[in-house]
C-alpha cells in the first residue's frame, strides 16, 4: 500500500514526486518511504549540490518540530539541516551517501569491534550535543544511525512526537543506545563492549559523556570495571578521546531558550512553576493577614467625628445588670492588665 | 510523586481560602469604627413644630459572630416623624461585654434626620485582635432636645453579637 497516501481531493501541488521542483530544488528520485516520512533526493539548482527532502504525510507538524530541533544543533555526527520548505512542508537536509546501520546489519557484513566502538563513540558524542541543548532524540535505533561513505556516523530521524506523547528524555536515549549496542555487538568477542551495552541498557550511565568516556576506555580497563568508569584519567583514554576531537555542543544565541518556547517545556518544569505559585500565594496571604495596610478600606477610614455636646446619659442603664460606671469606658477594678488593655482597645475602636 | 500531590493539595487549599493563617496578636487594633450617615429611604408626613415621634428604631448586628480582627456591621433603622424647628438628636451607643461597659460612642444625627421619614445607616465595627472573646451587647439610645430645652430619651434598641477566635 502506498504509505504516502493522499486523499482524493488532495491538490496535486502538495505531492512531492520525482520531476517536480520546489523552488530551486528539483526532485530527482525517492530514496525511502516509511509510514511517517518520505525522503527524496533533490538537486539544489541554485547552489548546485544534492540535498535530501524529507516530508511527512500531509505536512504534519512533526516536520516543523524536527526542523526546530535540527536548527539548534551543529555537530559533525548529526545530519545538517539546510532549510525548512514551507509548503508543502519538507526538511531540506544534507545529502548523505551510505547506508543505515540497520541496512548494514541486514546485509550481514562483519563489523569489527573497533569500528563498532568508534561508531558508538560518535553516536554518544552526538547524543551529548543533543542533551547539552536540553533536547533528546527519542527514537534511537539502527535505522536512525547513518554510516556515510567516509565511515562517519550521522544521527537522523529525530522523534516525531505526536500529541499526547510523553516527551523523550536523555535517559531514554541512553537506554536505547545501550539496547542498540547490544544488538550490534551480538556475536562480537569484545566482552567490554557488551558489558557497556548492558549497563547502558540498564540506565547505569548518568549522561552521554559518561557513556562516551566508557566506550573510549581501553578494553582491558573496562573488563575489570564493574561500575560506571567515571574517574577516567586522560592517560586512560584512547588517542582520539585524548585529543578531544568531539566538539562541545554549540549554542546559537539567536535561538531563544528551548524550554521557553510554548509546548516545549522539559518534564518537571511544571513542578517548579507550581512551587513558585504556592510561594507567591502564601506570601500574598500572609501579607493580607499581617500587614495593616491591607486591611479593608473602611477600617482605615476617618474615625467617627466627635459629638460636640452629648446629652447627659443620666438615664442609661446596663442591659441586664446595672453597672455604676457607665459614663466612660470603665472596667472592673479586678480586671487583669491584659483585660484592661483589651477593653481600652475596644474603647478606642468602638467608642469616642 | 506523593509529596507533589500533597504540595498540590496545600496550594489548592491556600488558593481556595480554606486555610487562614492566625492573625498576629495586637496587629489589627488601630482601626476605628466607621459609620455611614442616616439616609432617608422613604418620606413620611411632617408633624407640627416642636413635635417629634419615633415610630421605629432598631439596631441589629450582622453577622452575629465575628472573628478577632474581623468586622461586625451594625444596621440601624429609624422611622421618625418630626416637625420643623431646632431639633438636636444624639445617638448614644453603649457596648457591654457581659455586664461591663467597655465603650461608649455618641453621635449627633440631628442634621442627618432633617425631616420625617424612614432612615437607615450602617456602622462597621472592627474587632481588635486582643478583644475578649464572648458575647457583647450593644445598647443604642436616642436623645432629643428642642433648642436649649432638656434632653428627652426617645427610643432605645439592643442587639448582641459574639466575638470568636
The ipTM estimated for the assembled molecules is 0.77
CA dist B109 and B105 (Å) reads 13
Q: Are B70 and B127 in contact (CB under 8 A)?
A: yes
B92 vs A274, A313, A339: nearest CB: A313
Name the residue range of residue B38's domain.
23-164
In-domain check, residue B2 = no
pLDDT grade for A74, boundaries at 50, 70 and 90:
confident
* Mean pLDDT score, B40-65: 92
Cis peptide before A88 (omega within 30 of 0): yes
The confidence score (pLDDT) of residue A136 equals 83
Tell me how long chain B is: 165
Q: What is the largest CA-CA distance in chain B?
A: 81
CATH of the domain at B130: 2.60.40.10
For A57, the 3-state DSSP assignment is helix
In-domain check, residue B17 = no
Chain A interface disruption, residue of B59, B104, B163, most A CBs within 10 A: B104
In-domain check, residue B94 = yes
Cβ density class A235-260: b for 16+ within 10 Å, e for less: eebeeebeeeebeebeeeeeeeeeee
The confidence score (pLDDT) of residue B143 equals 92
* Mean pLDDT score, A57-74: 77
B21 vs A286, A327, A346: nearest CB: A286
Helices A208-216 and A113-132, packing angle to 10 deg: 160
B91-128 confidence digits (pLDDT tens): 999 999 988 999 999 999 988 898 999 999 999 998 98
Residue of B nearest to A289 (CA): B23
DSSP class per residue in A128-165: HHHHHTT------SGGGEEEETTS-EEE-----PPTTP
Phi, psi of A220 (to 5 degrees): -70, -25
Nearest to B31 by CA among A331, A346, A337, A305: A346
Do A289 and B23 count as a contact with CB atoms less than 8 A apart? yes
B11-50 confidence digits (pLDDT tens): 666 666 555 555 555 566 556 778 888 999 999 999 998 8
Lowest-confidence range among A108-122, A230-244, B64-78? Answer: A230-244
Q: Is the per-residue pLDDT at A314 higher than 50?
A: no
Q: Is the per-residue pLDDT at A73 higher than 90?
A: no
Q: Are B30 and A345 in contact (CB under 8 A)?
A: no
- Provide the grid cell at A117: 566502538
Do B24 and A289 count as a contact with CB atoms less than 8 A apart? yes
In-domain check, residue B5 = no
pTM over 0.80: no
A319 vs B34, B92, B158: nearest CB: B158
Helices A208-216 and A191-201, packing angle to 10 deg: 170
A162-202 confidence digits (pLDDT tens): 445 667 788 888 889 898 888 888 877 778 888 888 888 88
Lowest-confidence range among A134-138, A320-324, B82-86, B129-133? Answer: A320-324
B123 or A295, which is more confident: B123
DSSP H/E element including B4: helix B2-16
In-domain check, residue B10 = no
CA dist A122 and A146 (Å) reads 11
| Contacts A–B by Cβ distance under 8 A | 164
In-domain check, residue B65 = yes
The alpha-carbon gap from A171 to the nearest alpha carbon of chain B, in Å, equals 19
For B22, the 3-state DSSP assignment is coil
Strand-pair category, B71-82 with B100-108: unpaired
| Angle at the Cα of A75 from the Cα atoms of A39 and A219, rounded to 5 degrees | 105
Give the residue carrying C-alpha cell 516520512.
Answer: A37
Do B124 and A311 count as a contact with CB atoms less than 8 A apart? no
* Mean pLDDT score, A331-335: 45
CA dist A283 and B4 (Å) reads 20
Q: Which residues of A touch B35 (CB under 8 A)?
A: 304
- Provide the grid cell at B150: 432638656
Chain A interface disruption, residue of B102, B108, B147, B148, most A CBs within 10 A: B102
The confidence score (pLDDT) of residue B85 equals 85
Q: Is the per-residue pLDDT at A210 higher than 50?
A: yes
B2 C-beta neighbours (distance < 10 Å), count: 6
Q: What is the largest CA-CA distance in chain A?
A: 117
The confidence score (pLDDT) of residue B129 equals 87
Do A345 and B99 count as a contact with CB atoms less than 8 A apart? no
Q: Is the per-residue pLDDT at A5 higher than 70?
A: no
Residue of A nearest to B151 (CA): A311
Lowest-confidence range among A110-124, A244-258, A301-315? Answer: A301-315
In-domain check, residue B57 = yes
Do B8 and A318 count as a contact with CB atoms less than 8 A apart? no
CA dist A232 and B161 (Å) reads 78
Q: Are A109 and A123 in contact (CB under 8 A)?
A: no
CA dist A279 and B14 (Å) reads 10
CA dist A40 and A11 (Å) reads 19
Q: Which residues of A touch B32 (CB under 8 A)?
A: 303-304, 348-350
DSSP class per residue in A197-231: HHHHHTT--SSHHHHHHHHHS-HHHHHT--S---S
Q: Which residues of A touch B143 (CB under 8 A)?
A: 311
Nearest to B120 by CA among B55, B62, B75: B75
Q: Which residues of A touch B61 (CB under 8 A)?
A: none
Nearest to A138 by CA among A273, A272, A33, A36: A36
Q: Which residues of B touch A293 (CB under 8 A)?
A: none
Domain count, chain B: 1
In-domain check, residue B8 = no
CA dist B90 and B85 (Å) reads 16
Amino acid at each position: 500500500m502506498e504509505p504516502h497516501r493522499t486523499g482524493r481531493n488532495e491538490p496535486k501541488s502538495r505531492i512531492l514526486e520525482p520531476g517536480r521542483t520546489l523552488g530551486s530544488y528539483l526532485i530527482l528520485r525517492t530514496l525511502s518511504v516509511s509510514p511517517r516520512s518520505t525522503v527524496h533526493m533533490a538537486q539544489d539548482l541554485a547552489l548546485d549540490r544534492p540535498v535530501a527532502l524529507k516530508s511527512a504525510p500531509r505536512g504534519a507538524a512533526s516536520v516543523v518540530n524536527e526542523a526546530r530541533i535540527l536548527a539548534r544543533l551543529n555537530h559533525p555526527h548529526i545530519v545538517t539541516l539546510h532549510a525548512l520548505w514551507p509548503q508543502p512542508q519538507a526538511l531540506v537536509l544534507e545529502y548523505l551517501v551510505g547506508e543505515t546501520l540497520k541496512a548494514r546489519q541486514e546485509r550481514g557484513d562483519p563489523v569489527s569491534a573497533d569500528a563498532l566502538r568508534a561508531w558508538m563513540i560518535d553516536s554518544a558524542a552526538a547524543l551529548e550535543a543533543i542533551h547539552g541543548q536540553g533536547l533528546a532524540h527519542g527514537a534511537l535505533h539502527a535505522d536512525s544511525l547513518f554510516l556515510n561513505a567516509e565511515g562517519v556516523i550521522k544521527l537522523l530521524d529525530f522523534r516525531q512526537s505526536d500529541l499526547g506523547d510523553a516527551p523523550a528524555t536523555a535517559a531514554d536515549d541512553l537506554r536505547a543506545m545501550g539496547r542498540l549496542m547490544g544488538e550490534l555487538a551480538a556475536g562480537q568477542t569484545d566482552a567490554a563492549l557488551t558489558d557497556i551495552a548492558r549497563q547502558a541498557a540498564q540506565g547505569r550511565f548518568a549522561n552521554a559523556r559518561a557513556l562516551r568516556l566508557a566506550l573510549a576506555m581501553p578494553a582491558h580497563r573496562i573488563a575489570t570495571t564493574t561500575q560506571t568508569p567515571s574517574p577516567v584519567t586522560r592517560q586512560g583514554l584512547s588517542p582520539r578521546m585524548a585529543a578531544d576531537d568531539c566538539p562541545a555542543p554549540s549554542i546559537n544565541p539567536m535561538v531563544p531558550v528551548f524550554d521557553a518556547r510554548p509546548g516545549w517545556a522539559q518534564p518537571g518544569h511544571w513542578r517548579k512553576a507550581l512551587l513558585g505559585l504556592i510561594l507567591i500565594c502564601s506570601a500574598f496571604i500572609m501579607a493580607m493577614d499581617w500587614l495593616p495596610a491591607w486591611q479593608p478600606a473602611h477600617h482605615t477610614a476617618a474615625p467617627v467625628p466627635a459629638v460636640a455636646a452629648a446629652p447627659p446619659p443620666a438615664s442609661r442603664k446596663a442591659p441586664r445588670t446595672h453597672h455604676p460606671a457607665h459614663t466612660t469606658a470603665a472596667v472592673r477594678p479586678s480586671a487583669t492588665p491584659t483585660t484592661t488593655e483589651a477593653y481600652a482597645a475596644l474603647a478606642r475602636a468602638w467608642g469616642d | 510523586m506523593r509529596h507533589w500531590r500533597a504540595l498540590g493539595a496545600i496550594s489548592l487549599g491556600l488558593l481556595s481560602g480554606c486555610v487562614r493563617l492566625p492573625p498576629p496578636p495586637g496587629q489589627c487594633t488601630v482601626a476605628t469604627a466607621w459609620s455611614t450617615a442616616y439616609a432617608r429611604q422613604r418620606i413620611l408626613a411632617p408633624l407640627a413644630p416642636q413635635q417629634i415621634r419615633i415610630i421605629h428604631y432598631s439596631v441589629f448586628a450582622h453577622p452575629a459572630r465575628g472573628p478577632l480582627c474581623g468586622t461586625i456591621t451594625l444596621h440601624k433603622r429609624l422611622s421618625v416623624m418630626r416637625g420643623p424647628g431646632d431639633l438636636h438628636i444624639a445617638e448614644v451607643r453603649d457596648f457591654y461585654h457581659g455586664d461591663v461597659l467597655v465603650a461608649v460612642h455618641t453621635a449627633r444625627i440631628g442634621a442627618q434626620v432633617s425631616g420625617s421619614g424612614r432612615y437607615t445607616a450602617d456602622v462597621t465595627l472592627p474587632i481588635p485582635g486582643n478583644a475578649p472573646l464572648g458575647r457583647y451587647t450593644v445598647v443604642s439610645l436616642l436623645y432629643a432636645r428642642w433648642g436649649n430645652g432638656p434632653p428627652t430619651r426617645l427610643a432605645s434598641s439592643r442587639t448582641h453579637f459574639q466575638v470568636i477566635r
